Amino acid sequence: MSVTTAPQLKEVACDLCHSRENTDLYVLTDTLHHLPGKFTLRRCLQCGLIYLSPRPTAASLSDYYPPDYMPYRPPIEDERLGIMRYMRRRKLIKRRQLIEKYGGHNSGRVLDVGCATGLFLHEMQLAGWSAAGVEPVQSAANFARQRFGLEVFQGLLGEDPFAAQAFDVITFWDVLEHTFSPTNELKRAAHLLKPGGLVAINVPNWDSFDRRPYGPYWQGFDTPRHLYIFSRETLTTMLLQAGFRVLAWECFMPGFFTWILSVQRKLAAEHPRWVKPIMRVLTFPGVRLLFEPWFSFVNWRKTGPVISVFAQYIGQPSR
């Protein structure tokens, strides 16, 4: 279903400290799918959390996830180009290696929240992990079950049937910024983790090199699908409140495809004639390799488009 009229919007308070005092940062629109609606991104004056308010209601939000929404991508084995298979698998292997590094073991039970079509969980399974997923989109959940034989609960975290302390690791890849209440997600994760268990999260990086030059067109905002934008400070506070201790921040995702989405959005608004030719060049097979040194550099400086945090569950919330 697509949106043709103005969406239902709702004003909300800060999810982290419940304050309603805030300052406006940007008025944003959907510059990816061009669906209607104007949304204000605000910063909480008490704790600094950046969030969308007003934002779509639960009933209207699904309209902003059309079927061609990018994360529902084909399995790696179905990529035609060998180099693409290699690059995509390398990203998943890197995620697994960092989990094994910070978790301190290379087997156990892992839950992936927002597992989409199950590509990451499939990689974990191949390496000997016991894997389960939570995914709200029916078609993606079915795909993960049928193609990879994965255990996937279709719905949201919090509605899930899992027992307390059932998991060694819980992952949120590109998910936390989409949720209505990240603090509730982390509380539920804490409940489902064994003592000492690991949570791995990645989010758009507020310190990304391309946030300032691309401004409202920055892919990290992806309005109105991203309801929160985290800085390292606000995400650390949120983790502490849920009983976690931050082990490390890592910037390891290849940022090229995230960056060209920002390029595409800015061109579409300012120089629409150039979108097709420039995107054709940037997406030509192999072109991304020319940019690899730059993206390695920005990742080394922790200013890539996406940042990850690894944190250990150490007990009760601090307050």
Taking CB under 5 A as the criterion, which residues in 87-116 touch Zn ion? none
Nearest approach, Cβ of residue 231 and Zn ion (Å) = 12
Selection from 44, 61, 3 nearest residue 180 by Cα: 61
Q: Contact with Zn ion (CB under 5 A): which of 3, 12, 25, 47?
A: 47
Residues 200, 171 contacting (CB under 8 angstroms): yes
**3-class SS at 182?**
helix
Least Å from the CB of residue 235 to Zn ion: 13
Structure tokens at 138: 């029916």
Per CB under 5 A, does 279 bind Zn ion? Answer: no
Longest dimension (CA), the chain: 55
In angstroms, give the least distance from the CB of 21 to Zn ion. 8
**Do 259 and 204 meet the contact criterion of CB atoms below 8 Å apart?**
no
Residue 49 interacts with Zn ion (CB under 5 A): yes or no = yes
Rule CB under 5 A: which of 127-156 touch Zn ion? Answer: none
Q: Which is nearer to Zn ion, 16 or 156 (CB)?
A: 16
Residue 10 sits at φ, ψ, to 5 deg, of -140, 135
Q: Which is nearer to Zn ion, 26 or 72 (CB)?
A: 26
State the nearest-atom distance from the C-beta of 54 to Zn ion, in Å: 17
Could you tell me the smallest distance in angstroms from the CB atom of residue 49 to Zn ion? 5
Whichever of 72 and 180 has its CB closer to Zn ion, that residue is: 180
Tell me which of 9, 28, 35, 44 binds Zn ion, using CB under 5 A. Answer: 44
Among 113, 117, 150, smallest CA distance to 134 is for: 113
Give just the sign of the alpha carbon dihedral 28, 32, 34, 37.
Answer: negative
Helix/strand/coil (H/E/C) assignment for every residue in 35-97: CCCCEEEEEECCCCCEEECCEECHHHHHHHCCCCCCCCCCCHHHCCCHHHHHHHHHHHHHHHH
Say if residues 317 and 242 touch (Cβ distance below 8 Å): yes
- By C-beta, is 44 or 119 nearer to Zn ion? 44
Give the binding-site size for Zn ion (rule: CB under 5 A).
8
Q: Kindly state the smallest distance separating residue 28's Cβ from Zn ion, in Å.
A: 20
- Identity of the amino acid at 95: R
Residues 2-41 vs Zn ion: string with x where CB under 5 A?
------------x-xx-x----------------------
CA dihedral (207, 212, 213, 214) in degrees, to 10, reads 90
Identity of the residue, 19 or 106, whose beta carbon is nearer to Zn ion in the bound complex: 19
- C-beta of 46 vs 139, nearer to Zn ion: 46
Provide, rounded to whole angstroms, the least separation between the CB of residue 134 and Zn ion.
Answer: 27
Residue 26 CA to residue 41 CA, distance in Å, equals 5
User: Among residues 26 and 291, whose Cβ is nearest to Zn ion?
Assistant: 26
Interface residue with Zn ion, options 2, 6, 24, 46 (CB under 5 A): 46
**Binding stretches for Zn ion (CB under 5 A):** 14, 16-17, 19, 44, 46-47, 49
